Amino acid sequence: MKIAVLGYGTIGRGVYEILSNPVTDYTKKIQVSYIWIRKGKEKALPEMCDDFNIILQDKEVEVVVELLGGIEPAHTMILEALRAGKHVVTANKKVTAQYLKEFLEVAKEHHVQFLFEATTGGGIPWVRAVEKVKRIDEVSDFHGIFNGTTNYILDRMYKEGAEFDDVLKDAQQLGYAEHDPSADIDGLDIGDKLQITASLAFDCIAPNDFPIFGIRTITKNDISFFKNRGQVVKLIAQAKRSNNILSCCIEPVVFSKDSMEASVPNNFNLGSITGTTIGELKFYGQGAGMLPTANAVIQDIIDLLEEKNETAFDFSKEVEFCYDKIMKDYIIRTSLPEEKVREVFGENVGEREEYLGNYYYEILTISTKRLHDGIQQLQVYDKTVFGARIHVGTL
């Protein structure tokens, strides 16, 4: 099987490295015929090409692997490849989250497949897991650590007592975080993954306007505060359906140090999904880095090579999106006076605790939306506010 790879960044290099040194019968059957690069870039490898039309017109190329990232030109090139009768495999979570339904419809129209396992969970077969659960069950909820970069940062801070900025620099040097790390640390990257998974799990086109609060403002003192309480902070994406109401959010969650989520190290991910008869299933593996994500890309290519049956997706269900039905307990840290905290959260404010010169407030029995709205109000006066949900029982 001949393929063309669009882009030669971190994941593109990983795909090329694995397929250039094949060790299995499957990978020996896959040949990288083209690597598309932008005009003006040096053609450092013989496979490199800056004319996409050459790839589209080559009938021997069966699969186009889109690894450019972002919306354009990825969106246009994916559609052109599908309309040219070529399968498309992608690791681009942003364009997939925004155009998933369109890509699947165009692929079906032209009798090819659009596969996107590598968009969510790195090396974990997460998309396949959701598909398999749904063959038998309805999904009631899922949650997980779906960003290896933020998990790496939080894990290092917990184990070493390190400062956020120092660990972030290390993550950038290791290739886990981009030069501009905003998508990771502000929860936007995980937001795309949540939108993709929710669309698949609940048979609808999930929105992207759910509450998101990242880890940009967490400090080593915050980590130490929770550690002294026997707790660990993780950045969690969650979606839950009750009857016809769907709630989604992304936020730091405080787990007991004995929980499975608390023990997830380094750049690893952990996804949990609950079905009506199977109950809760958990999937664990590397969630960031060149080779784990490249591995997921190649798994999709092998599925095409083996002519695995195409999964039928349905996005027709009518679902009400609501973010103020589920009530939870939180802790926030702010330098603002208690009067300001009570002005924003009123009777929901519980006990206050001082630790290393910082004040931590319990915010009790409050909806995700109201909590996030309240944090935004406090950020007008204190940009360093940090908040986390307290995990008790089930998410």
Q: Is 180 exposed, middle or buried (0-12, 13-18, 19+ CB in 10 A)?
A: exposed
Q: Is 308 a catalytic residue?
A: no
**193, 220, 240, 328: which is the annotated catalytic residue?**
193
Q: How far apart are the first and last CA of the chain?
A: 44
Q: Tell which residue, 282, 15, 345, has the closest CA to residue 144.
A: 282
- Look up tokens 């040194």; give the residue: 21
Residues 6 or more apart whose CB falls under 8 angstroms from that of 337 comprise: none
Q: Is beta strand 386-390 parallel, antiparallel or unpaired with respect to 139-145?
A: unpaired
Output the six-digit token pair for 83. 């309309």
- Residue 246: in which H helix or E strand, if any? strand 245-256
**341 neighbors 378 (Cβ within 8 angstroms):** yes
Give the C-alpha separation, 149 to 166, whole Å.
13
Q: Is 33 exposed, middle or buried (0-12, 13-18, 19+ CB in 10 A)?
A: middle
- Three-state DSSP class for residue 40: coil
Residues forming the active site: 193
